[in-house]
Amino acid sequence: MVMSEGRYAPAATLAGLVQRGRGLGARMAAEDPAAAAEVVYGCVRWDWRWDSVDRRGLYLARLVRDLELPLGPVVEGLGKGEVASERAARVLGLLALDGSGEAREALRAYVKEGEHWVAALEEMACRWPVEWWDDLAETGRERAEQDPEDRWGEPWYRWELAGPGPVHGPRERKPLAGVDNAGLLELLADSGESEERRTAVLDVIDDRGPEPGVIPLVPSLGTADGKHILWPLIGVVEKLGPLAVPAAREWAAVTEPEWLRLLGHSVLAEHGTVEDVPVLVADLERDWVRRRWCGPMRTAEGLRRFGAEARDAVSLLRRFWLWTPHSFERVSYLEALAEIDRMGLDKVYLECLWDCEAEARLLGARHAPDRAEVRERLAYLRDDELEEPEVRAAARERLAALTQG
């Protein structure tokens, strides 16, 4: 059973798989819908996404639809707080588009009386045909008067209830924009300058081309407490590209501050050479030990460049793919494995056809092995109007190729 205390179930269990949006979770749930029902409802009720970019709406809507689960517990989610209401509205909105009259009427009724009605209404206006919600204009006006605030987008524009748009005046010239690079570097090197002033200097340098003179100053360009990087430095170092690699090897070797080590690894992942592979693998290992789920994809993308030379990372990449709750990053691990060691990927690509992430389903549509169940799933993705257009197109093209072959 899915628990609400924020702890992910093991990745090999049904609950853990569905929490992570894994394709295998959807396939296992289909084997015993009654047993899977509470897991699915639990993942609608509580937000198990590791990050806001992770997708779950279509994944959960398909589980409710394909398992033929009663909508009652999903509708109840509309009254379980703001975040839960938004999640339930997303699932119900998709099911209504798929033809569920019950889902459609539940959302319309909630807009009239529910506490978090704005999110439900905006979900409807974003996805539904206008004739499905335009008759709620009077309700929207009355409720907006009781709960006044500036709102944008639909339905507020259509109903002439939108707030004033942001004012865009002429862009102010940055105070240090007239200082040449030599002068800016002098200010950066002055330890007496304030954090705010040095940030402003870096912001101006970031507007310009690569400035190698920043490189020796980088270790001193963190916040006073040593915990964070001065934010414009990220863009400044990115513009340096390969020029920063020699220094990045030194940054990556430090223990503290953490931001400098991470910056070094980021440069090596994007621009390093094969000699940097052991450092990148060690960084991936460190992330695994710490269960650091945000960011390892960048290391994986860097290792991908080296193909078989990065074979020492294979075990870690497979572990991250299996266990990460951050579904947005999963595709990067698969793409790295495809370049480094493809062993076992046929089974993974098959699972991807049920994944919560559109990019993963795209990989599955293009690379899953030719089997009867693959052709059946490709037809499902091709014909499902809720599916992303690029996935539908890929499924259509692959199925046509397999049929002709």
Burial, 338: exposed, middle or buried (Cβ in 10 Å; 0-12, 13-18, 19+)?
middle
| Among the ranges given (2-6, 291-295, 362-366, 400-404), the one the predictor scored with the smallest mean pLDDT | 2-6
In the predicted model, what is the mean pLDDT of the chain? 94
For residue 270, the one-letter residue type is E
Helix (H) or strand (E) holding 226: none
pLDDT of 36 reads 96
Q: Give the model confidence (pLDDT) of 166-224 as tens digits.
A: 555 566 788 898 999 999 999 999 989 999 999 999 999 999 989 999 999 999 999 99
pTM check: above 0.75: yes
Q: Give the model confidence (pLDDT) of 199-210 as tens digits.
A: 999 999 999 989
**Looking at per-residue confidence, does 150 or 277 come out higher?**
277
pLDDT of 170 reads 63
Q: Give the model confidence (pLDDT) of 366-390 as tens digits.
A: 999 999 999 999 999 999 999 999 9
Query: Is the confidence at residue 2, as pLDDT, over 60?
Result: no
Taking the C-alpha atoms of residue 145 and residue 348, their distance in angstroms, rounded to an integer, is 52
pLDDT of 6 reads 65
Taking the C-alpha atoms of residue 294 and residue 326, their distance in angstroms, rounded to an integer, is 7
Residues 6+ apart with CB under 8 A from 5: none
pLDDT of 146 reads 86
Taking the C-alpha atoms of residue 341 and residue 350, their distance in angstroms, rounded to an integer, is 17
pLDDT of 169 reads 56
Q: Map out the domains of the chain as residue ranges.
A: 14-146, 344-405
| Among the ranges given (15-29, 93-107, 168-182, 233-247), the one the predictor scored with the smallest mean pLDDT | 168-182
Q: Map residue 334 onto helix, strand or coil.
A: helix
Q: What is the average per-residue pLDDT within 95-106?
A: 97
Residue 405's pLDDT band (cuts 50, 70, 90)? low
Q: Give the model confidence (pLDDT) of 107-153 as tens digits.
A: 999 999 999 999 999 999 999 999 999 999 999 999 988 887 878 88
